[in-house]
Structure 1
Amino acid sequence: MKPPVARAFGEPLPLVVGVDGSEPSLRAVDWATDEAALRGLPLRLVYASLWERYEGAALMEGLGRTSEQIAVDDIVEAAAQRAHRRHAEVRISTEVLPDDAVSVLLKEAHSAFALVLGSRGRSGMAELLLGSVSLAVAARAACPVIVVRGNHDNQADAGRHRSVLLGVGEGPNSAAAVRFAFQEAEVREAALHAVRAWRCPARESTDHPLMVAEPARLHERRAVEILESALNGAAAEHPSVDLRRRTEEGTARRVLLDASADADLLVVGAHHRDGSFGLQLGRVAHSVLHHSACPVAVVPQQTHRQDADLTRD
């Protein structure tokens, strides 16, 4: 069953994919096409004509075209044909926009169901770094941003594990991520593994062997309470979802990265921080975007710019 989707002027909001002709962006097109087919959404492919400003001028040079516009049109058309071959029933539109990639995608986010991006662009550091466009957009977008990671061993293939992984934050700021994760599990007919990490600070431990376990039990109990509070409402709204709750001792980053190897999608809430370099993601979201073994959805809270960490780490 497809969940209700946001609409503008009676039309469902599209999934928007940033394309640049690179292999990671084509994998993002594949993933987004599958997602659009699952959810019954239109697919919008956008190319920013100044993409090379962020991901390297080698894009145009490598294509060897005398006309940049011809090259851009070829890239967009190839992406559209690829999506059509994958799911002919999905309605596809394309557009080339004359601006840098981050500006284009952030504007698109205001009228998109979600943005889907490749994990890296055309950079000489491609094997080491998350693409600068993906990271900048995930930190600031008004809608969910899915970065298609898991490029090795076909980890990014939809439905391979029939499992959605949710990192559960604290308080109302995690509500949007929880709702998104339940919807994803429902449309995929997948199990939803909701995880809350916890830690017992060293200063709370004691040398007495009979007292060592007590602080840990308190922190674990608190993690269980947070998990139940965050999930109860959405679980009642999605009774068909196979919900599996889990608390685990450790940092949220380690717990989620370990679990991502067995998931089709990892969902975390956006944790925007005001810093000297502008809005930045929280540590957990930043870490999983760089190192997750599967695609990552970063979901901003609609009414709050701040989102709690999954645990202190």
Structure 2
Amino acid sequence: MDNLPIVVGVDGSESSMRAVDWAADEAALRGAPLRLVYASLWERYEGRSLADDLHKPLEQVTAEDIVRTAGQRARLRRPELEISTDVLPEEPEYALVREGRQAAALVLGTRGRSGLTEMLLGSVSLTVAAHANCPVIVLRGSHDNKVSAGKRGRVVVGIGEKSWDSAALRFAAQEAKLRRASLDAVRAWRCPAHESTDHPLPAGEPARLHEAQATEILDKALEDAPADVDLSRRAVEGPVRRVLLDASRDADLLVVGARRGREHLGLQLGRVAHAVLHHSACAVAVVPERT
């Protein structure tokens, strides 16, 4: 669809190799090149399985071994792809953020320290998601390493106040179309506690008003949605973080926007993006939004 590559960060861990599979599928769907990057200052918290595959002691596994193995894995999975690899002698956070300036998306595995993989988001993934100029996809939960034939056939996008001009919504619609999946647009709403007791309107009326406002925002956000996307919309009562985390339980991808102001040097993660990156049950795409 364009010439910008899908870039995936690899480090020899199993989670990064699963990210290679996922990124290869994503690149194939987009007709894009795949670029595999290893930053040589990356600490090795994991990697035993790769050492075993290479029949080498762990301390003898080199950066070249890691990118070569990742490249072979991607080629076996998607032989038609144009694949490049690189070893960069710098900290991974800086290397990947820079790579994101010329990427369609960055794909990262989930790595936590001290055996907390899949429970605690690794610091590299969190930092890159907070500063990249392109969408950052972090593979969480029980994903099956597939893009085009995900388990659930559903992409979820959180709808904010100004989503009718939202990069996150456009990205989510594109992903749903590429995957032939449904797109579930979710808007969370809450009725302030004081309105439910002290407001002069009849009982239940404040809640109906807030729900109606949420529905109106959804309708406005989606009025220009592509006609060829299988679209549903839901206004759900509750805190945004809880609503989106609940929605992630039966989705293949959760898409959220993160506002970036001109006065900031990089994308600033809000509380919602931070929460879903740590706790989502499926892969999360954090998409930068210009303000």
**TM-score of the two chains, using structure 2 as the length reference:** 0.88
* Separation of aligned partners in 2, 1:94 and 1:84: 12
Identity between Structure 1 and Structure 2 (%): 62
1:214 equivalent to 2:205? Answer: yes
Equivalent residue letter for 1:46: V
1:54-104 Cα shifts (integer Å, max 9, x gaps)? x65x769x874666xx61111111111111111111111000001000000
Select 2:175's aligned residue among 184, 188, 210: 184
Measure how far apart 1:280 and its partner are.
4.3
* Separation of aligned partners in 2, 1:79 and 1:94: 9
Q: Could you say which residue in structure 2 is the equivalent of 1:93? A: 84
Q: Is the 8 A contact 1:156 1:264 kept in 2?
A: no
**Unmatched 5+ residue regions in structure 2?**
none
Select 1:143's aligned residue among 121, 134, 149: 134
User: Does the residue aligned with 1:170 lie in a helix, a strand or coil?
Assistant: coil
* Separation of aligned partners in 2, 1:294 and 1:59: 23
Select 2:192's aligned residue among 190, 201, 206: 201
Equivalent residue letter for 1:239: A
Q: Could you say which residue in structure 2 is the equivalent of 1:267? A: 255
* Separation of aligned partners in 1, 2:146 and 2:231: 22
Q: Could you say which residue in structure 2 is the equivalent of 1:252? A: 240
Distance change (3 Å), C-alpha of 1:251 and 1:155:
farther
Measure how far apart 1:286 and its partner are.
0.7
Equivalent residue letter for 1:157: K
Distance change (3 Å), C-alpha of 1:245 and 1:239:
same
Select 1:157's aligned residue among 107, 129, 146: 146
Q: Aligned Cα RMSD in Å? A: 2.5
Measure how far apart 1:209 and its partner are.
10
User: Does the residue aligned with 2:22 lie in a helix, a strand or coil?
Assistant: helix
Measure how far apart 1:214 and its partner are.
1.2
* Separation of aligned partners in 1, 2:237 and 2:151: 27
Select 1:28's aligned residue among 9, 16, 19: 19
1:241 equivalent to 2:229? Answer: yes
1:126 equivalent to 2:117? Answer: yes
Q: Is the 8 A contact 1:200 1:215 kept in 2?
A: yes
Q: Is the 8 A contact 2:110 2:122 kept in 1?
A: yes
Q: Could you say which residue in structure 2 is the equivalent of 1:110? A: 101
* Separation of aligned partners in 1, 2:221 and 2:158: 11
**TM-score of the two chains, using structure 1 as the length reference:** 0.83
**Unmatched 5+ residue regions in structure 1?**
6-11, 305-313
* Separation of aligned partners in 1, 2:259 and 2:251: 22
User: Does the residue aligned with 2:130 lie in a helix, a strand or coil?
Assistant: helix
User: Does the residue aligned with 1:196 lie in a helix, a strand or coil?
Assistant: strand
Moved more, 154-163 or 107-116: 154-163
Distance change (3 Å), C-alpha of 1:284 and 1:47:
same
